[in-house]
Amino acid sequence: MPRIFKPSRVDVAPPFERCVVAPELSIGTPGPPTTSDKLAGELRVICVARTAKMSNFTMALRCFAPLRGRVLLAVYGPMEDKRCLQESLAILRKLPPIVEALSAGVPVLISDQTPWTSVNENGANWALPLNSESKFTEVLQALVDMGQEEYGHFRLRALEYFDAHCSSDVALKENGRLFSELPDGVLQ
């Protein structure tokens, strides 16, 4: 079964011989996606990001400028880079009014520079290159344009991805192994 990311081993400083990365665990048992009316021509977006040059946050904001339709944007995350924050605010001022997702069956659009790139597997989520501003805008516009029925299919596939990758027995076993392999006394 594919995982969000494969466990990896890296060299670390003594007393540890290696580091094991386990898949993220579910925060609970997800239910079916909640009913959320999706109107064609409207999109509600939550952006969880750092305002930092590395995250290319300003590019993400520029992707909203050419969108047609009603877009509501909420941004959450630390404001780490003052220059990036100033650039972001300047972009937001030029935009027309722009009025834990997978577990709720909400499709995600993220950078391919995260360990979550396998979200592309089922066609309900997107992990795109940060240098592909036009592709981000294309996906966002498609989301704006779709109606409730089509969006409902995306929500179900997003939840299926969550079920397969975040709440699986494999994730639980690998997280358990992560702690069982710690040297004696580490957690004391």
* Cβ atoms of 151 and 168 closer than 8 Å: no
Establish how many alpha carbons lie within 13 A of residue 14's alpha carbon, considering only the half-sphere containing its beta carbon.
0
For 113-135, write each residue's pLDDT tens digit. 877 788 888 787 899 998 899 99
118: Cα separation from own chain's centroid: 11
Question: Which helix (H) or strand (E) is 48 found in, with range?
Answer: strand 42-48
Cβ neighbours, 10 Å, residue 26: 18
Q: Tell how many helices (H) and how many strands (E) occur in the chain.
A: 5, 6
Mean pLDDT throughout 90-112? 77
Residue by residue, DSSP assigns 63-104 as TTTT--SEEEEEEES----HHHHHHHHHHHHHSPP---GGGG
Residue 177 has pLDDT above 80, yes or no: no
pTM (2 d.p.) = 0.61
For 41-97, write each residue's pLDDT tens digit. 888 888 877 777 777 888 888 898 888 888 877 777 787 888 888 888 888 778 766
In CATH terms, the superfamily for domain 38-161 is Glycogen Phosphorylase B; (3.40.50.2000)
Say what the pLDDT of residue 188 is: 46
